[in-house]
Amino acid sequence: MNEAIKERISALVDGELSEFELRRVLEEIEANPELRNYWMRLQITKSGLKDQSLGFLDMDISKRVAVELGENTGETEKSYPISKTQLYLASAVTAGLVLVVSGVFNFSEENLSPEELFASETSQQIAAAATSPQAMQVLDKALTGMDATLQELNSGSKGQIYANYRLPSNGKTFRVSLSPASYAFSDFGEGRAPKLAYLETKNGVYIISVSGNISSEQKSQILRNANFSLNNLK
Amino acid sequence: MDLKKSNKDKDLVLVRRAKRGDYKAFDLLVLKYQSRIAGLALTFVKDRHLAEDIAQESFIKAFKSLESFREESAFYTWLYRIAANTSKNYLTSKKRKKEYSESEILSSEEASVDIFDIPGGDSPEEILAANNLREMIFESLSNLPEDIRTAISLREFEGLSYEEISEVLDCPIGTVRSRIFRGREIIQEKISPLLDNNVMLIRQSKRI
């Protein structure tokens, strides 16, 4: 890492950076995850010296916050909003037409699970995959028993799908995301992102994650429902 | 010169930048305060995952209402209030008021911010890791060359600005900045292996 940039980051920790320097430092940090990590570690050192909390050392919610605010640090889901017609289709499938739609599609890989078919679809045609019945099956399955309303569905340029839901009972909202692992790893960084599970296919690893204003138990239940593998993957 | 704490809010440069729409600046504030805000939430909800969720929600609320931050208090004080209110709202909405005492709420509103910084996490592994790390940080500090140690101490413990430190030490501001940086580099080098190990141990303990 460049020493001069690190020195500027150290000065930024103390609020001693000029506006001009700040702009450059922010750009450098955005471009280099190591510098981001350096900033975090300087904060830990500072907290240690000031007898402040050193708990949650393994936690990093910054990516989750960014995603919730529509501020993906990498590619964003803003790129491909899904039309109302597509959303209607998605809602219909989610509402229970999975079997009918599945029957219409000609699955060339009959032995694959819906999750694997979804993964394959994503790698071939990103935009189409966002509204594919396979994707909807995954989402539908994940939301089993949740009585949630699908409000919005978006796709990202790298095959990510973001489905926003609302629980009519209490008005809480949450998001279920499906992403290729290469994107998901950069999306969540090295920090702790516990509400996710993965699916390993011959086309790569795919991640399902849940974020938003619902309980931890509900998030875990969604991941279990999705039937992706739950383990220590971060 | 009196060794009086500078009242300047160290976060203002980032806050103002974030207000102008640069999310990268707000992202650094999240990274800076996420542990403390989650620690604060944990004192209310007593559940680690919920505390993380509340911290997340607090930052989202803070970003969305950043325009209402008038810089009349420190940014962290403002953020702290948001997180405390978010935690209390959660408990209220869940009708869990009986699980914590009314006196705790009142004292949290009146207390100074640092009182609610907990010393470590909620598990024995985290408390041990935090204690070890803190010891290592102070040991590293005490072994720094005197000129560097003095600069860092004036900054961290006395809260002096670089300009004030340069007056005390009778050296240019650039030298102060450089000494503080070099001191932090040395401390970082010493604690990095322990920090990596601690994070790994905490993660492992959660998988058991």
Instruction: Please check whether residues B11 and B60 belong to one and the same domain.
Output: yes
Among B40, B74, B99, identify where a domain stops: B99
Domain that holds residue B131: 101-208
Q: What is the pLDDT along chain B (208 residues), one digit of tens a residue?
A: 444 455 577 899 999 999 998 999 999 999 999 989 998 898 888 888 899 999 999 999 999 999 999 888 899 999 999 999 999 988 887 654 454 544 444 443 343 343 334 444 456 767 777 888 888 999 999 999 999 999 999 999 888 999 999 999 999 999 999 999 999 999 999 988 888 776 666 556 555 4
Residue of A nearest to B138 (CA): A49
Instruction: Please check whether residues B63 and B126 belong to one and the same domain.
Output: no
Contacts by residues A107-110 (CB-CB < 8 Å, ≥ 24 positions apart): none
Global pTM? 0.58
Interface residue of B10, B56, B127, B180 to substitute, partner A, most A CBs within 10 Å: B56
Residue of B nearest to A65 (CA): B56
Interface membership of B49 toward A (CB under 8 Å): yes
Among B52, B83, B99, identify where a domain stops: B99
Instruction: Please check whether residues B2 and B78 belong to one and the same domain.
Output: yes
- The HSE-up count of residue B68 (CA atoms within 13 Å, CB side) is 8
Instruction: Please check whether residues B26 and B113 belong to one and the same domain.
Output: no
Q: Which of B39, B56, B162 shows the shortest C-beta gap to A61?
A: B56
CATH of the domain at B179: 1.10.10.10
Instruction: Please check whether residues B112 and B95 belong to one and the same domain.
Output: no
Instruction: Please check whether residues B117 and B148 belong to one and the same domain.
Output: yes
Among B62, B81, B99, identify where a domain stops: B99
CATH of the domain at B91: 1.10.1740.10
CB pair distance less than 8 Å for A14 and B155: yes
Q: What is the distance in angstroms between the Cα of B82 and the nearest Cα belonging to chain A?
A: 15
CB pair distance less than 8 Å for B195 and A11: no
Contacts by residues A117-124 (CB-CB < 8 Å, ≥ 24 positions apart): A118/A178, A118/A206, A119/A180, A119/A199, A119/A201, A119/A203, A119/A204, A119/A206, A120/A201, A120/A203, A122/A159, A122/A161, A122/A178, A122/A180, A122/A206, A123/A159, A123/A180, A123/A203, A123/A204
Instruction: Tell me the residues of chain B between 75 and 114 that have a Cβ less than 8 Å away from chain A.
Output: 93, 114
- Overall domain count for chain B: 2
Instruction: Please check whether residues B60 and B132 belong to one and the same domain.
Output: no
